[in-house]
Structure 1
Amino acid sequence: MAHVTQQSRQLLDVTRIYYEPAAAELPRGRQVLERWPDATLVPVESHWRIPELHGDETNVDRWVRIKREALVLGIKKSLTAKPNGRSADFIAPSTANGCAMACAYCYVPRRKGYSNPITVFTNIEQITGYLERHVHRQGVKPEPNQCDPASWVYDLGENSDCSVDAEVSDNVDDLIALFRGLPTAKASFATKHVNRRLLTLDPQGRTRVRFSLMPARVAKLLDVRTSPVPERLGALDDFVAAGYEVHVNLSPVVVHEDWLPVWAALLDELGDATNDATKAQLQAEVIFLTHEENLHRVNLGWHPKAEDLLWRPAMQETKRSQNGGVNVRYRTGDKGRYVQQLLALIEERAPYLRVRYAF
């Protein structure tokens, strides 16, 4: 059972819990409320509409404070498993939204307004029941693909970090237990937080943890409030030994004047940190940076030094997103060259590491 640890206290010092009344009445909602008994409780009609937290640009100067001190309880109303096909076959319905960490490039605030602290969805039994039925409907996977050769893969943490979510409630415990009993499917989530309590959950190879990595010097600037990269590297063997499938996300790859040497050093560190058993099953996703104009403006209000690396107009081109926002990415011809340079470096410095995809 999740509980408040010293590690979680560094991320979360919850003083105010906003809750949908129906969410607070469920067992998972009561569990969260009992964990922070001294928090001020604020009833709300909808977890999506809390003006103090979401959609208010004046919150930028309280960005990290909101993430540390606020928590939201809600009901997940739309239960759908969206086809994906890149990292996973399906995106599972969220059991949380938002994050206590504050990575400067994170896309989640683009979708749900500014600081976006953790929302816990307390109707976990409905979510796990839906997922179990969805897996059974798929039957046996007919042929291998880049997600997995034999199992249907379900991404659990599209809008949150499951390792942090597991500091708040037992939702992630329940998901890992669910997939342990589903021989045709695997859970998968990416993380920048080392939560060693997950080592006790006995996933039996049915949960894939993808530790996100970038050179430590860059991560110190961009990966705000996350576990340091050396700590993530130090966890890889332990998670394999505990029964997880462990991959790495080399992301986001940020191009700057000496980016290749620092990535070479990181790949060397990855090799030094992992034993033969870890290397034998280790695979990677490589994702180059994309950024967004509105988030750029917000970051200038709380973390402008990050934008010196993230917002490089001379190297980037714009693309209008489906919701009308302006995204930036590395220029098409240049990006293809960057991808090939990094893939060549991986082949040279970490030949054991199979790249599932790079873009």
Structure 2
Amino acid sequence: MLLDVRTIYAEPAALELERGRQIVERWPRAEVIEVASANRVDAVHGDEQNVQRWVRVKTEVLALGVRKTMTARVNGRSADWIAPSAANGCAMACAYCYVPRHKGYANPITVYANIEQMIGYLRRHVVRQGPKTEPNQCDPRAWVYDLGENSDASVDALVSDNVADLVAAFRDLEHAKASFATKFVNRDLLTYDPQGRTRIRFSVMPERTAKLLDIRTSSVGERIAAVDDFLAAGYEVHLNMSPVVVHEEWLSDWAELLQQLNDVLSPAAKAQAQAEVIFLTHNQGLHDVNLGWHPQAENLLWRPDIQEFKVSQNGMRNVRYRAGWKGVWKQRLLDLIAEQAPWLTVRYAF
């Protein structure tokens, strides 16, 4: 079971809002504990013992808060703008996820109840942009807003109606389009009627790698099989080839995945599909956390023989593939995509 919420840590202000009350009502047997901040719950994020209960905490704990800052950040890769997140954290447990780097010893879902304020901010932001006058790699006509930088919106939709409300809001914003990547096939989203104004990006990687790293997600095969259904329901459907994890047989595994895409996707899906290719970036702190709950994953993710350290802008110690080798590997994968899936436009790769 992906979610069996037994404890909700809630800010009092969130409990006063209709969306907050709706979320609590979804789990009537859950204990509600009031906290000053849903983003930093000492009993959850600050307890080192929770590393050993990594998945259980994701299943049983929910944090409920109010988003206090509204800022759309410039992106330029997946989207033109990163929208204020309606949630962060996840019930899934992908071993490479960057969100836990900021949250300590646990990473359950934190959901924000003031969705109406968020939507109001986004409406005003879109109006300020006006029409998009120059096409770019994000979209030729619409300003694209990423809704799920710090969470998986398909899973968030199990918690609240925030995602449904966001999809409905973008349906009426003629100069804008919502976007989010997902590893979870939530068929409830097929009823949201996005009318082409929401782009869903199904994340895919070779199945053998996903079985080790994509914990508690829908299988890659299930994600690929869902593409045509979501297209028929009114979504634009792209592919997020991420993260690309290099190992001794990585390129042959990607060749198998590309063949699977060729075999499963319809001509209509292929005609509109585009992709982003993102090679793995890992993190020293996350490596240490993973050793406490899923050390096998680190055999693939932590490769000092082919990686180099880089200190990020926020001071974190990250590792990425060595620059000279990564450039060669990236080109090999792009060449493979061009050869085996010439219908698939790669929007960007890094």
Aligned to 1:191: 182
Aligned to 2:288: 297
Picking from 65, 70, 76, the partner of 1:74 is 65
Aligned to 2:33: 42
Q: Which SS does the other structure have where 2:116 is aligned?
A: helix
Q: How many residues align?
A: 350
- Structure 2 CA distance for aligned equivalents of residues 46 and 215 of structure 1: 39
Unaligned runs of 5+ in 1: 1-9
Aligned to 1:23: 14
Q: Does 1:324 align with 2:315?
A: yes
Deviation at 1:48, TM superposition (A): 2.0
Deviation at 1:352, TM superposition (A): 0.3
Picking from 63, 74, 83, the partner of 1:92 is 83
Tell me whether 309-318 or 105-114 shows the greater mean CA deviation: 105-114
Q: Which SS does the other structure have where 2:339 is aligned?
A: helix
Q: Which amino acid aligns with 1:152?
A: W
Q: Does 1:308 align with 2:299?
A: yes
Deviation at 1:112, TM superposition (A): 2.0
Deviation at 1:59, TM superposition (A): 1.5
Q: Is the 8 A contact 2:134 2:140 kept in 1?
A: yes
> Identity over the aligned pairs, expressed in percent?
70
- Structure 2 CA distance for aligned equivalents of residues 322 and 80 of structure 1: 19
- Structure 1 CA distance for aligned equivalents of residues 177 and 46 of structure 2: 35
Picking from 231, 239, 244, the partner of 1:248 is 239
Deviations 1:327-351 (A, max 9, x none): 1010011000000000011011111
Q: Is the 8 A contact 1:70 1:118 kept in 2?
A: yes
Q: Which amino acid aligns with 1:179?
A: F
Picking from 238, 246, 256, the partner of 1:265 is 256
Q: Is the 8 A contact 2:92 2:216 kept in 1?
A: yes
Deviations 1:69-89 (A, max 9, x none): 000110000001111111101
Q: Is the 8 A contact 2:7 2:32 kept in 1?
A: yes
- Structure 1 CA distance for aligned equivalents of residues 271 and 46 of structure 2: 45
- Structure 2 CA distance for aligned equivalents of residues 331 and 145 of structure 1: 29
Deviation at 1:58, TM superposition (A): 2.4
Aligned to 2:161: 170
Q: Does 1:348 align with 2:339?
A: yes
Q: Is the 8 A contact 2:39 2:110 kept in 1?
A: no
Aligned to 1:210: 201
Deviation at 1:326, TM superposition (A): 1.1
Deviations 1:170-212 (A, max 9, x none): 0000000000001100000000000000001100000000000
Picking from 124, 139, 147, the partner of 1:156 is 147
Q: Which SS does the other structure have where 2:184 is aligned?
A: coil
Q: Is the 8 A contact 2:310 2:318 kept in 1?
A: yes
Where do residues 3-14 of structure 1 align in structure 2 (5 Å cutoff)? 10-14=1-5
Runs of 4+ more than 2 Å apart: 55-58
TM-score by length of 1: 0.97
Q: Which amino acid aligns with 1:304?
A: P
Where do residues 107-122 of structure 1 align in structure 2 (5 Å cutoff)? 107-122=98-113
Q: Which amino acid aligns with 2:276?
A: E
Q: Which SS does the other structure have where 1:302 is aligned?
A: coil
Q: Which SS does the other structure have where 2:159 is aligned?
A: coil
- Structure 2 CA distance for aligned equivalents of residues 44 and 23 of structure 1: 10
- Structure 2 CA distance for aligned equivalents of residues 239 and 330 of structure 1: 34
- Structure 1 CA distance for aligned equivalents of residues 46 and 309 of structure 2: 24
Q: Does 1:222 align with 2:213?
A: yes
Q: Which amino acid aligns with 1:167?
A: L
Q: Is the 8 A contact 2:190 2:230 kept in 1?
A: yes
Q: Is the 8 A contact 1:57 1:298 kept in 2?
A: no
